[in-house]
């Protein structure tokens, strides 16, 4: 029981720190497509930490570690897809 | 579900705060005093305190540089301002050791050298607060960014946990043990909440090109220099043509810049290829007269004086970046505004400190004095009470180390770290209360010692001389040390009172814990 609890916490910490960073990084390059070269890059970079914070809060608010990871995967998919679609367009 | 959310946020707040609390406190406190970086630097160089910016500084300094380094590839000159009466010039010289750079502190009225004791001044605290010490700079900046990110998460989860923000504003129940620490922590957090959010987020933004570089990769094909040129208006160097041509007179260029900036002052001068037909002269505006630090820049042809290019902040995102950066460094708005930022930042430091103390108090109540609790308590004392004492040691070393000493800059910094290291170890050998009391009293005594030693070592910069001359920039440092002494002494008395009557308090603490 104790091992499971600790495993859940470790899993969430990894999800928050690395998974959250990955989502923030994907959001930054997706948003960077929205403006000119300079403006877009700055928008993407400056907004990324708000996204990162939201991702971390989500990870620790989710009812299980698995749900936390699934939520991050969906967000990563959305931002990655947006990056790709905006690149094509 | 709602209770579950608050509970998980409370857990997150408790543990995330602890992990980075000690380093965060050091970052916060050294950052706090960095609002007065030029003033600290000037205090630490008493030899320069009588210098004045003069009215023709740009002309004087450029003429002086033509004498000193006519063949240098470029000169960078930081112009004097009302907070810093000295012009600092930097230029490349292959014969200079160890890094091929020379620098000089010039009198902006005469161009002559201003000799001052060697010191890092306020730059040491400033640099420590975002790149620590002794670590490779990118790694240190990553560590600081990580701490700031955890701080941001702590603030957001803290807001969820203490959702009675308005009530917390007015709630303080003194002398009730854990309950008082909680009230104090929440009051400090809510009083300056917008400031805490602002300073943490903008702090992250200042290091963003390092920690979140991916948009630079996608939008500039990974060409960082192109990004830097676009955002900061710094262009790549052009090689010399080898055709000797004198530099154009500077006076009309200064007038041109001031007219274009509606009276704005020149903050930085960059001259490339002086004495060559390819010379350029770049003026960047001083950023103390507006919030945004986005630099307005004019580039002149160095031989004809014609304007080659100008740069103004271009889009809304660039303007936002400039404002965020400007809010973080707080160079706008004058002394009163800076003092308010300083007080908010002090509250932020105290918020971090009370948070880590609260963790230990709560823990001891719940599960007794285990090894983990004891470790946190030991670190709390040295990290919180030890730091202001060590900072006072840094200022004292500035006055007490011999002026001609070799390696003086480094030794001032070593004094700071040796003192801090001793104070981090000291609580190992004392009881917890004793350790707090001793370090707080020591800090108070050392802070009082700063203005006192100043009287003996450099009477010209002591309060007796600076107050009648209305030199608040210098007197302010001595007065701030006295204020810190009162604050630390007050804390020491508080710990003492708590120790005097632990019995009668215990009952109150338990009823508070049961609430």
Residues of A in contact with B205 (CB under 8 A): 45-46, 49
Give mean pLDDT, residues B459-488.
Answer: 95
User: Between B156, B212, B317, which is nearest A25 by CB?
Assistant: B212
ipTM for the whole predicted complex goes beyond 0.90: yes
Provide the pLDDT confidence category of residue B507 given band limits of 50, 70 and 90: very low
For residue B92, being part of any structural domain is answered with no
Contact A38 B318 (CB under 8 A): yes
For residue B405, being part of any structural domain is answered with yes
Q: Give B230-234 contacts, CB < 8 A, sequence gap 24+.
A: B230/A37, B230/A38, B231/A38, B231/A42, B231/B318, B231/B321, B232/B295, B233/B284, B233/B295, B233/B297, B233/B311
Beta bridge pairs of residue B101: B92
For residue B21, being part of any structural domain is answered with no
The tens digit of pLDDT for each residue in B487-502 reads: 999 999 998 887 665 4
Provide the pLDDT confidence category of residue B369 given band limits of 50, 70 and 90: confident
Number of domains observed in the structure of chain B: 1
pLDDT attached to residue B168: 67
What range defines the domain where residue B454 resides?
369-515
The tens digit of pLDDT for each residue in B247-300 reads: 999 999 999 999 988 888 899 999 999 989 999 999 988 877 777 777 688 999
User: Between B153, B209, B215, which is nearest A56 by CB?
Assistant: B153
The tens digit of pLDDT for each residue in B191-221 reads: 899 999 999 999 999 999 999 999 999 999 8
CB-defined contacts A:B, below 8 A: 97
Provide the pLDDT confidence category of residue B506 given band limits of 50, 70 and 90: very low
Residue A7 sits at φ, ψ, to 5 deg, of: -60, -40
The pLDDT mean for chain B works out to 89
Is the pLDDT at B309 greater than 90? The verdict is no
Residue B98 sits at φ, ψ, to 5 deg, of: -95, -10
CB interface of A with B, residues 3-22, below 8 Å: none
For residue B128, being part of any structural domain is answered with no
For residue B120, being part of any structural domain is answered with no
Which tops the pLDDT comparison, B403 or B262? B403
Question: Helices (H), strands (E): how many in chain A?
Answer: 4, 0
For residue B376, being part of any structural domain is answered with yes
Distance between A45 CA and the closest CA of chain B, angstroms: 6
Contacts of A75 (CB under 8 A, 6+ apart): A23, A27, A55
Binned average pLDDT, 10 residues per bin, chain A of 89 residues: 86 96 98 92 96 97 94 98 89
Provide the pLDDT confidence category of residue B513 given band limits of 50, 70 and 90: very low
Which tops the pLDDT comparison, B232 or A13? A13
Give mean pLDDT, residues B10-15.
Answer: 92
């Amino acid at each position: 029981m104790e091992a499971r609890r600790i495993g859940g916490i470790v899993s969430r910490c990894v999800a928050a720190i690395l998974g959250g960073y990955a989502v923030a990084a994907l959001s930054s390059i997706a948003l960077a497509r929205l403006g000119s070269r300079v403006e877009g890059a700055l928008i993407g970079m400056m907004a990324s930490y708000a996204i990162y914070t939201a991702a971390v809060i989500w990870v620790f608010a989710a009812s299980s570690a698995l749900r936390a990871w699934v939520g991050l995967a969906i967000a990563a998919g959305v931002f990655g897809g947006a990056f790709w679609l905006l690149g094509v367009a | 579900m709602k209770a579950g959310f608050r509970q998980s946020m409370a857990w997150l707040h408790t543990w995330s705060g602890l992990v980075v609390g000690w380093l965060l406190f050091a970052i916060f406190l050294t950052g706090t005093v960095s609002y007065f970086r030029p003033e600290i630097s000037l205090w630490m160089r008493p030899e320069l305190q009588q210098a004045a910016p003069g009215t023709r500084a740009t002309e004087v300094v450029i003429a002086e540089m033509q004498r000193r380094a006519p063949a240098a590839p470029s000169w960078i000159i930081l112009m004097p301002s009302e907070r810093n009466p000295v012009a600092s010039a930097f230029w490349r010289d292959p014969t200079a050791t160890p890094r091929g750079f020379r620098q000089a502190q010039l009198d902006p009225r005469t161009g002559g050298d201003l000799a001052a004791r060697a010191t890092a001044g306020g730059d040491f605290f400033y640099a420590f607060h975002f790149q620590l010490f002794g670590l490779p700079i990118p790694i240190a900046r990553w560590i600081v960014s990580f701490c700031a990110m955890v701080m941001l998460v702590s603030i957001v989860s803290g807001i969820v946990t203490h959702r009675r923000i308005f009530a917390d504003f007015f709630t303080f129940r003194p002398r009730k043990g854990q309950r008082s620490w909680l009230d104090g922590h929440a009051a400090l957090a809510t009083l300056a909440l917008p400031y805490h959010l602002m300073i943490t987020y903008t702090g992250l933004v200042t290091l963003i090109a390092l920690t979140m570089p991916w948009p630079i990769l996608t939008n500039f094909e990974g060409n960082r220099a192109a990004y830097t040129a676009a955002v900061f208006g710094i262009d790549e160097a052009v090689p010399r043509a080898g055709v000797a041509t004198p530099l154009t007179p500077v006076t009309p260029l200064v007038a041109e810049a001031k007219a274009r900036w509606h009276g704005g002052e020149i903050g930085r001068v960059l001259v490339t290829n002086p004495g060559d037909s390819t010379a350029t002269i770049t003026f960047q505006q001083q950023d103390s007269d507006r919030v945004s630090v986005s630099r307005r820049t004019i580039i002149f042809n160095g031989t004809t004086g014609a304007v080659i290019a100008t740069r103004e902040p271009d889009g809304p995102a660039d303007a936002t970046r400039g404002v965020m950066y400007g809010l973080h460094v707080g160079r706008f708005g004058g002394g009163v505004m800076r003092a308010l930022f300083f007080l908010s930042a002090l509250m932020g430091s105290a918020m971090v400190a009370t948070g880590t103390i609260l963790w230990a108090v709560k823990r001891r109540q719940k599960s007794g004095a285990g090894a983990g609790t004891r470790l946190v308590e030991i670190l709390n004392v040295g990290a919180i009470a030890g730091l202001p004492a060590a900072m006072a040691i840094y200022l004292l070393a500035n006055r007490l180390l011999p002026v001609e000493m070799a390696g003086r800059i480094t030794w001032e910094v070593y004094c700071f770290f040796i003192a801090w290291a001793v104070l981090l170890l000291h609580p190992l050998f004392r009881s917890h209360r004793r350790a707090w009391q001793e370090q707080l009293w020591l800090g108070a005594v050392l802070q009082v010692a700063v203005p006192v030693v100043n009287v003996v070592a450099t009477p010209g910069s002591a309060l007796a001389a600076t107050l009648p001359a209305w030199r608040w920039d210098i007197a302010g440092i001595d007065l701030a040390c006295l204020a810190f002494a009162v604050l630390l002494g007050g804390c020491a008395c508080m710990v003492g009172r708590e120790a005097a009557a632990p019995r009668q308090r215990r009952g109150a603490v338990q009823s508070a814990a049961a609430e």
